[in-house]
């Protein structure tokens, strides 16, 4: 980070991290793969790092944030996949151990967590990261937003976290690109993974839960 460069505000991201934490700790005990203190510790460490970066605005804190966020993504991403596997196993092999309401609530929590997690990944990697975007560095984009093709685009516009959150939500609900188009292989692979998780969660687990409740 060069002197006098801008730092994108992290408050929307911090709220997203808190929402992920809330969704994961609200899951039934049978879906928790780690001791309850682990998610709290990782989330707190990530938030503290972001607050320190906004206050100090130094390269050191930016590097620390990248490392901490990578750990956050890996741990919580693995948690989502394992929880989805447990849900599928409960639905197929132990249907009597879980009620329709529990299955529905768990599937919605996993689905909501996946949306926030993927929005954070998109926000972190696109165009070199938030600082590269807000300071208008010319880095190859992973996604193209419709406003960039519009004559009404504000000067020096760059996507912020809310843009990626909306994009992740529409990808999870439509199973296809809607708000932005992927331009790189990693962008397409990430969207394929998110679509697959959403498809299994909504069409398999949630649909089965609704079927149990209506029977």
Please give the full DSSP string across 92-108, using - where no structure is assigned. Answer: HH-GGGS-HHHHHHHHH
Nearest to residue 40, comparing CAs of 72, 77, 80, 81?
Answer: 72
How far apart CA 11 and CA 213 sit, in angstroms, is 39
How far apart CA 60 and CA 29 sit, in angstroms, is 38
Rounded to 5 degrees, φ, ψ at 136 are 60, 40
What pLDDT was estimated at residue 30? 56
Identify the helix (H) or strand (E) that includes residue 181: strand 181-182
Task: Output the pTM of the full model.
Answer: 0.88
Q: Is 143 helix (H, G, I), strand (E, B) or coil?
A: strand
* Count of C-beta atoms within a 10 Å radius of residue 36: 11
CB 20 within 8 A of CB 116: yes
Nearest to residue 183, comparing CAs of 148, 134, 131, 157?
Answer: 148
Written as tens digits, the pLDDT of the chain (215 aa) is 555 567 888 999 999 999 888 877 776 665 566 677 787 888 899 999 999 999 988 889 989 999 999 988 888 888 888 878 877 777 777 666 666 677 777 778 888 889 999 999 999 999 999 988 988 888 899 999 988 887 677 777 889 999 999 999 999 888 676 778 999 999 999 999 998 888 888 776 666 666 666 66
Distances from the Cα of 160 to the Cα of 11, 106, 133, 165, 167, angstroms = 11, 29, 8, 9, 11
């Amino acid at each position: 980070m060069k002197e006098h460069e801008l730092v994108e505000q992290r408050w929307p991201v911090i709220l997203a991290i808190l929402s992920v934490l809330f969704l994961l700790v609200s899951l039934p005990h049978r879906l928790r793969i780690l001791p309850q203190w682990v998610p709290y510790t990782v989330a707190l460490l990530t938030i503290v790092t972001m607050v320190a970066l906004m206050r100090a605005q130094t390269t050191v804190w930016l590097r620390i944030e990248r490392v901490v966020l990578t750990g956050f993504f890996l741990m919580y991403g693995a948690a989502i996949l394992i929880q989805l596997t447990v849900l599928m196993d409960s639905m197929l092999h132990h249907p009597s151990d879980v009620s329709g309401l529990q299955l529905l609530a768990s599937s919605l929590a996993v689905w909501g967590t996946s949306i926030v997690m993927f929005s954070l990944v998109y926000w972190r990697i696109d165009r070199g990261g938030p600082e590269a975007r807000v300071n208008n560095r010319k880095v190859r984009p992973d996604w193209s937003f419709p406003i960039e093709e519009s004559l009404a685009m504000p000067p020096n516009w760059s996507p912020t976290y809310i843009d990626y959150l909306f994009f992740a939500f529409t990808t999870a609900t439509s199973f296809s690109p809607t708000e932005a188009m992927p331009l790189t292989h990693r962008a397409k692979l990430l969207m394929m993974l998110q679509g697959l998780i959403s498809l299994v969660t909504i069409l398999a687990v949630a649909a089965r839960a609704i079927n149990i409740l209506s029977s």
